Structure 1
Amino acid sequence: MMKVSFKGKFDVDKSNGAASLAFNAGNVKLRATMTDATIVAGPSLNGLSLAVEKPGFFIIDYNVPKKDVKFQFMNSIKIAEKPLNLTYIHMRGDNRTIVDGSLVIDLANKVSANYMVGTNNCKLKYTYAHGGIATFEPCYDLAKNAWDFAVSRKIYGTDTVKATYQTSSKMLGLEWSFNSKSTGSFKVCASMNLAEELKTPKLTAETTWNLEI
């Protein structure tokens, strides 16, 4: 079975699109992703990437025009009978390595950390889910010595409203999203910099369609 995904993103400055084709080959998935740069100006390798994925174990992405490879490995261990999910990401072209971990304390509480190896870029986040409907996520950025906050709430079972605030940049964001496993998703975002005198919101819309062939 082949899964086809189409994604479009629109904002006040520009719009772009992407298409992804994926199919199962035994216990791994093969995926090809193309952007509008691949086909709009004639068939080219621009915006083309290829990936091999074994869900829950690894993802290898190859950026064709840049000839760059990104490796992502996932693993899960238990600490005091609590699952600790670990992800190791290495971008060969940028020579960057990121380690991401999340410890699930219970159904409502989770702590996670994201660290770029060799730098002081590290984020610590606590996630509290209330009744499976509302989620509160404070995040501390060690590099910026600042807090970020996110609050989200599910509506009607398929819709989610989310508000975010970055204290370092004074950026306020609002997001409404609709998700369907069968058809895809739709998302509208508005962001505003409260530090600017002229507080003009920036609007973006993003939609994804999923098909199975």
Structure 2
Amino acid sequence: MKTSLKARYETDKSSAAATLAINAGDVKLRASMTDATVVNGPSLNGLSLSVEKPGFFIVDYNVPRQDVRFQFMNTIRVAEKPLNLTYIHGRGDNRTVLDGTLVLDSANKVSANYVFGSGNCKLKYAYVHGGVRTFEPCYDLTKNSWDFAVSQRVYGEDVFRASYQTSSKLLGLEWSRDSKLNGTFKISASLNLAEEVKMPKVTAESTWNFEM
């Protein structure tokens, strides 16, 4: 049995969430709730239930919305290269997404994301240099625009990432750490260069994992 606690702070609000996961043979059972579940008395707000078989499927049920989300994963071989496919369908918003990633080698991979109905499609290439620096150019076919991201791993646990969306002129900076002893945290800031009054939006998020 595993438990995780997550706290999130933004410049205009803060929130908290908790997740309880139980291994039941080949599948995992999860129950998640947010601070909205317990504030002003126990309620179903923010409560969700999940069943997952790692590498095969995830079924999420949003209790207050009575909404189901299905996610199926599979891997096939294309020219002796692994192609990871993910199919996601949300019943409530009737949204279906197909995501595929072709792993060329340990340093290069190409991925595509397509949203059925809307025609939204993105193509992304990721290159890892020296095992510590990653370059990720992404092309949005719908907007006919490019997004760029570069990240650098430092001391094994810390990752610094910078991104820029040309269509919205959104600049993002992020610092994250994934530690088995102290949990994970992420601090990010975004700045819209298209706005006349340029005020950065800052977000801090921390997660602690426990085994029971």
| TM-score for both structures, normalised by structure 2 | 0.98
Q: 1:56 to 1:96 in 2, by over 3 A?
A: same
Matches within 5 A, 1:10-159: 10-159=9-158
* 1-structure distance, mates of 2:64, 2:14: 21
Unaligned stretches of 5+ in structure 2?
A: none
* 1-structure distance, mates of 2:82, 2:182: 32
Is the contact between residue 182 and residue 210 of structure 1 (CA under 8 Å) also seen in structure 2? Answer: no
Aligned residues: 212
Matched residues, percent identical? 71
Q: Residue 36 of structure 2: SS of its match in structure 1?
A: helix
Residue in structure 2 matched with residue 192 of structure 1 by the alignment: 191
* 1-structure distance, mates of 2:111, 2:95: 20
* 2-structure distance, mates of 1:157, 1:100: 28
* 1-structure distance, mates of 2:97, 2:34: 26
* 2-structure distance, mates of 1:182, 1:145: 43
Is the contact between residue 120 and residue 142 of structure 1 (CA under 8 Å) also seen in structure 2? Answer: no
* 1-structure distance, mates of 2:125, 2:83: 14
Residue in structure 2 matched with residue 201 of structure 1 by the alignment: 200
Q: Residue 144 of structure 1: SS of its match in structure 2?
A: coil
Question: Aligned AA for 1:202?
Answer: K
Is the contact between residue 141 and residue 147 of structure 1 (CA under 8 Å) also seen in structure 2? Answer: yes
* 2-structure distance, mates of 1:19, 1:34: 6
4+ residue stretches of structure 1 with deviation over 2 A? none
Deviation of the 1:91 alpha carbon: 0.2
Unaligned stretches of 5+ in structure 1?
A: none
| TM-score for both structures, normalised by structure 1 | 0.98
Q: Residue 37 of structure 1: SS of its match in structure 2?
A: helix
CA offsets 1:156-197 (integer angstroms, 9 cap, x no match): 110000000000010000000010134420111111111122
Question: Aligned AA for 1:147?
Answer: W
Q: Residue 37 of structure 2: SS of its match in structure 1?
A: helix
Q: Residue 157 of structure 1: SS of its match in structure 2?
A: coil
Question: Aligned AA for 2:32?
Answer: T
Deviation of the 1:137 alpha carbon: 0.1
Is the contact between residue 165 and residue 171 of structure 1 (CA under 8 Å) also seen in structure 2? Answer: yes
Deviation of the 1:198 alpha carbon: 2.1
* 2-structure distance, mates of 1:103, 1:140: 16
Residue in structure 1 matched with residue 169 of structure 2 by the alignment: 170
* 2-structure distance, mates of 1:143, 1:182: 43
